[in-house]
């Protein structure tokens, strides 16, 4: 044990900034990270025990207790529940004889809940030792548990066929399906990897590249919509010995899975985009930060990177450009939604807790290892390749004036054709509903942009998906008439935010929790009108949080009050203006017994 840990530490050159990788390797080898190992790692990296422990305790795929030879992480997101997770969960518990959060006494199987694993179009889904199992049914669960008990290796347990496209690749071999429903410039097959690096870059100066990107008017696809050309220019002008290009492939927003599809089907496009960004900015290294849930793609992606090096698309003098050296490595996360925030992502890649940094300085000035860093979404970097290939003017033909280009939508929930749609900006929600096979009359609501976005009612289905109107990172969850919005969606999302808060700002750490208590009070029919007003008022306080996660953590409640207020008003007590559940007798009982006195209650 001690030797294997030592080998892992050596593999990463005792570099404390690679602590994430070290912990990931230990976790995957041992199934947990024992205390003695933490000490061993701390000593070897010359950091304190607490440094290791705080990183470890931050990510939910790290555990200090054994998680079982087969660790089952069953998705607990709203859509998983809509698609029948409860029965799947019960079957897992019945078949193994343990509850979620426990490990069987023989240490064979552990059952755990996890946040959205990026499979919303094929739920209920689970990760078992990193392998994805989709479209679970009680019957399938019985098979899986039986196979585990019979000692079958995980790879043999896929009775169904492998998924489509590259999911069948020898290095992936997964049952995941892409569900690509509509293609545009990014998902198009019409792409020769390396074409921009070979044909365009040698004829362009870095400034010209930035100019072309600016001309395309492309804005960041993660959700915030910052102009990409400007970001690259800031970074190019910033002073630093080294510069870095980060690709944010952490898509943790429940309901988003388009990056998974790009990583599976167009990874070369993404890598080429990073090389272009590296050339434009003057960076030497690129890091793709991929969420832990997509670790099943690791061998496939790393093999492609090696292929690119062999073809001089990475490495030294790329594309024959003298002095242009650039390489890419993949950094995996370990289960933390907040790491999708760019500065938290950088912290995490440095081996620390994924807590957002206070800004300014922004990453373009002081990012990874305090060097100027560009963090771009997967989709943004892919689009950059097509912009350079066909020109900024061409790109502006797609979309609207302020939102140029296309957007990959991850559609899930109550519709006939869930999956990934590459559409031009400027579609209305109604257009999209029609496209995905959702009968408008059967749709009660649409969650646009995931939990941090907004839940809208049919009154707003005429609105347009673009930065100026309904901005979205791409997640659309269709909610049918049969769903209970407050319990199925709003409560689930609020619990998600509580779970995923990094805990740095007291607002996000506490107010989310207090809001959940209020919501539950209303759901228990103990609420009063003031409770609804309080929720609205408290939601505003969240805006003082440091990062986007905290600032939007109230959105499930706030936007549902805005658009579905009647659902709240139906449940409150109309005849009271305050309801305290406080009871003095029961509140003082315990302390009076402890002190040996009789409560004086008048």
Find the part of the chain contacting another protein (CB under 8 A) among 36-44, 189-197, 461-469, 530-538.
Answer: 530-538
Judged by CB under 8 A, the residue of 152, 199, 462, 543 near another protein is: 543
CB of 76 to another protein, least distance (A): 24
Among 48, 199, 544, 565, binds another protein (CB under 8 A): 544
For residue 276, count other CB atoms closer than 10 A to its CB. 28
For another protein, which is the closer residue by CB, 331 or 452? 452
Work out how close the CB of 356 gets to another protein at its nearest, in angstroms, rounded to a whole number.
11
Of the residues 541, 562, 567, 571, which one makes contact with another protein according to CB under 8 A: 541
Q: How far is the CB of 543 from another protein (least distance, A)?
A: 7
Toward another protein, which CB reaches closer, 161 or 592?
592
Which one among 69, 142, 173, 530 touches another protein, defined by CB under 8 A?
530
| Smallest separation, CB 452 to another protein (Å) | 18
How many CB atoms within 10 Å of residue 208? 14
Closest CB to another protein among residues 565, 576: 576
Specify the residue, 437 or 599, whose C-beta has the smaller distance to another protein.
Answer: 599
- Smallest Cα–Cα separation from 309: which of 318, 300, 301? 318
- What distance in Å separates the CA atoms of residue 178 and residue 183, rounded to the nearest whole number? 12
Residue 208 near another protein by CB under 8 A: no
Closest to another protein by CB, 5 or 505: 505
Binding residues for another protein restricted to 29-68, rule: CB under 8 A: none
Q: DSSP labels for 521-588?
A: HHHTT---HHHHHHHHHHHHHGGGSSSHHHHHTTHHHHHHHHH-HHHHHTTS-TT-S------HHHHH
| 594 near another protein, judged by CB under 8 A | yes
Q: What pairing do the DSSP bridges indicate for beta strands 285-290 and 244-249?
A: parallel
Q: How far is the CB of 254 from another protein (least distance, A)?
A: 25
Q: Please tell me whether residue 546 binds another protein under the rule CB under 8 A.
A: yes
C-alpha 584/C-alpha 602 separation (Å) is 10
Return the residue of 3, 13, 203, 586 that touches another protein, per CB under 8 A: 586
Residue window 334-363: x/- pattern of binding to another protein, with contact defined by CB under 8 A: ------------------------x-----
Give the whole-angstrom CA distance, residue 465 versus residue 461.
10
Q: Rank residues 459 and 581 by Cβ distance to another protein and give the closer one.
A: 581
Binding window for another protein (CB under 8 A); candidates: 260-268, 286-294, 320-328, 505-513:
505-513
Helix or strand holding residue 457 (H, E)? strand 454-457
315: CB partners within 8 A, 6+ apart: 309, 325, 326, 327
Rank residues 139 and 582 by Cβ distance to another protein and give the closer one. 582
User: Does residue 190 interact with another protein by CB under 8 A?
Assistant: no
Residue 545 engages another protein in binding (rule: CB under 8 A): yes
CB of 532 to another protein, least distance (A): 14
- Per the CB < 8 A criterion, the answer to whether 423 and 406 are in contact is yes
Q: Which residues contact 6 (CB under 8 A, 6 or more apart)?
A: 40, 44
Query: Minimum Å distance from CB 571 to another protein?
Result: 19
CB 546 within 8 A of CB 535: no
Q: How far is the CB of 255 from another protein (least distance, A)?
A: 27
Answer yes or no whether residue 524 interacts with another protein by CB under 8 A: no
Give 469-535 as a 3 state SS string. CCCCCCEEEEEECCCCHHHHHHHHHHHHHHHHCCCCCHHHHHHHHHHHHHHHHHHCCCCCHHHHHHH
With contacts defined by CB under 8 A, name the span among 236-244, 247-255, 292-300, 541-549 that binds another protein: 541-549
Number of residues that bind another protein (CB under 8 A): 36
Tell me which of 12, 332, 538, 564 binds another protein, using CB under 8 A.
538
* Residue 360, preceding peptide bond in cis (omega within 30° of 0): yes
* Residue number with CB closer to another protein (1 or 592): 592
* Sole residue written with tokens 């995957």: 28
CA distances from 284 to 222, 309, 326 (A): 23, 14, 5
Q: Name 345's Cβ contacts closer than 8 Å, sequence gap at least 6.
A: 246, 248, 250, 289, 339, 354, 375
**Within 10 Å of residue 566's Cβ, how many Cβ atoms?**
9
Q: How far apart are the first and last CA of the chain?
A: 64
Among 140-148, 207-215, 234-242, 503-511, which window interacts with another protein (CB under 8 A)? 503-511
Whether 231 and 98 have beta carbons less than 8 Å apart is answered as no
Contact between 581 and another protein per CB under 8 A: yes
Q: Using CA of residue 330, residue 335, residue 341, residue 347, what is the dihedral sign?
A: negative
- Specify the residue, 254 or 550, whose C-beta has the smaller distance to another protein: 550
Residue 593 CB, nearest distance to another protein (Å)?
8
Q: Write down the residue that tokens 């400007």 correspond to.
A: 230
DSSP for 108-165, written as a single string: SEEEEEES--S-GGG-S-EEETTEEE-S--HHHHHHHHHHHHTT--GGGG--SPP-SG
Stretch that binds another protein, among 136-144, 202-210, 332-340, 534-542 (CB under 8 A): 534-542
Site for another protein contains 526 (CB under 8 A): no
SS3 of residue 595 by DSSP: helix
Contact positions toward another protein, by CB under 8 A?
Answer: 358, 505-507, 510, 514, 530, 534, 537-538, 541, 543-546, 550, 577-578, 580-582, 584, 586-597, 599-600
């Amino acid at each position: 044990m001690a030797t294997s840990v030592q080998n892992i530490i050596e593999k990463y050159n005792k570099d404390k900034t690679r602590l994430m990788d070290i912990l990931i390797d230990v976790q995957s080898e041992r199934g947990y990270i024992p205390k003695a190992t933490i000490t061993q790692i701390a000593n070897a990296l010359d950091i304190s025990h607490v440094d290791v422990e705080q990183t470890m305790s931050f990510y939910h795929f790290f555990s200090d207790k054994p998680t079982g030879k087969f660790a089952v992480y069953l998705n607990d997101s709203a859509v998983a529940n809509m698609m029948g997770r409860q029965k799947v969960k019960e079957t897992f518990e019945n078949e193994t004889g343990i509850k979620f959060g426990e490990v069987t006494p023989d240490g064979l199987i552990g059952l755990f809940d996890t946040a959205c694993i990026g499979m919303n179009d094929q739920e209920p889904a689970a990760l078992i030792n990193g392998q994805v199992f989709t479209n679970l049914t009680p019957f399938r669960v019985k098979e899986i548990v039986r196979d585990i008990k019979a000692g079958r290796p995980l790879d043999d347990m896929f009775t169904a066929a492998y998924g489509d496209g590259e999911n069948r690749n020898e290095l992936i071999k997964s049952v995941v399906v892409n569900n690509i429903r509509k293609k545009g410039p990014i998902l198009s097959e019409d792409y020769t990897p390396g074409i921009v690096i070979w044909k365009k870059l040698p004829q362009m100066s870095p400034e010209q590249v930035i100019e072309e990107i600016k001309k395309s008017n492309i804005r960041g696809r993660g959700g915030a919509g910052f102009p990409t050309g400007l970001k690259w220019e800031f970074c190019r002008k910033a002073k630093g010995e080294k510069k870095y290009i980060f690709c944010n492939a952490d898509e943790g927003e429940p309901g988003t899975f388009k990056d998974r599809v790009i990583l599976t089907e167009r990874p070369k496009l993404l890598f080429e985009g990073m090389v272009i960004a590296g050339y434009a900015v003057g960076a030497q290294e690129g890091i793709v930060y991929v969420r832990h849930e997509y670790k099943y793609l690791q061998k496939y992606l790393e093999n492609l990177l090696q292929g690119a090096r062999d073809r001089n698309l990475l490495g030294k003098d790329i594309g024959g450009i003298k002095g242009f050296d650039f390489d890419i490595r993949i950094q995996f996360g370990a289960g933390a939604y907040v790491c999708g925030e760019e500065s938290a992502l950088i912290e995490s890649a440095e081996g620390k807790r994924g807590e957002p940094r206070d800004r300014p300085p922004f990453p373009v000035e002081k990012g990874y290892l305090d060097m100027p860093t560009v963090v771009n979404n997967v989709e943004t970097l892919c689009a950059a390749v097509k912009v350079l290939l066909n020109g900024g003017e061409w790109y502006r033909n797609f979309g609207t004036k302020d939102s140029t280009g296309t957007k990959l939508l991850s559609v899930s929930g109550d519709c006939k054709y869930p999956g990934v749609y590459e559409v031009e900006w400027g579609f209305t929600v109604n257009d999209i509903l029609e496209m995905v096979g959702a009968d408008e009359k059967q749709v009660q609501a649409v969650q646009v942009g995931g939990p941090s976005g907004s839940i809208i009612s049919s009154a707003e289905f005429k609105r347009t998906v673009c930065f100026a109107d309904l901005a979205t990172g791409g997640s659309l969850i269709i909610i049918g008439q049969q769903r209970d919005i407050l319990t199925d969606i709003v409560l689930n999302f609020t619990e998600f935010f509580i779970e995923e808060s990094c805990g740095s700002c007291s607002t996000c750490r506490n107010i989310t929790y207090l809001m959940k208590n209020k919501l539950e009070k209303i759901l228990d029919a103990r609420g009063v009108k003031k409770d609804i007003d309080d929720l609205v008022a408290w939601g505003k306080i969240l805006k003082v949080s440091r990062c986007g996660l905290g600032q939007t953590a109230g959105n499930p409640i706030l936007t549902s009050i805005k658009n579905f207020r009647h659902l709240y008003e139906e449940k409150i007590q109309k005849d009271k203006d305050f309801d305290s559940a406080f009871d003095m007798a029961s509140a003082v009982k315990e302390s009076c017994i402890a002190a040996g006195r009789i409560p004086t209650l008048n």
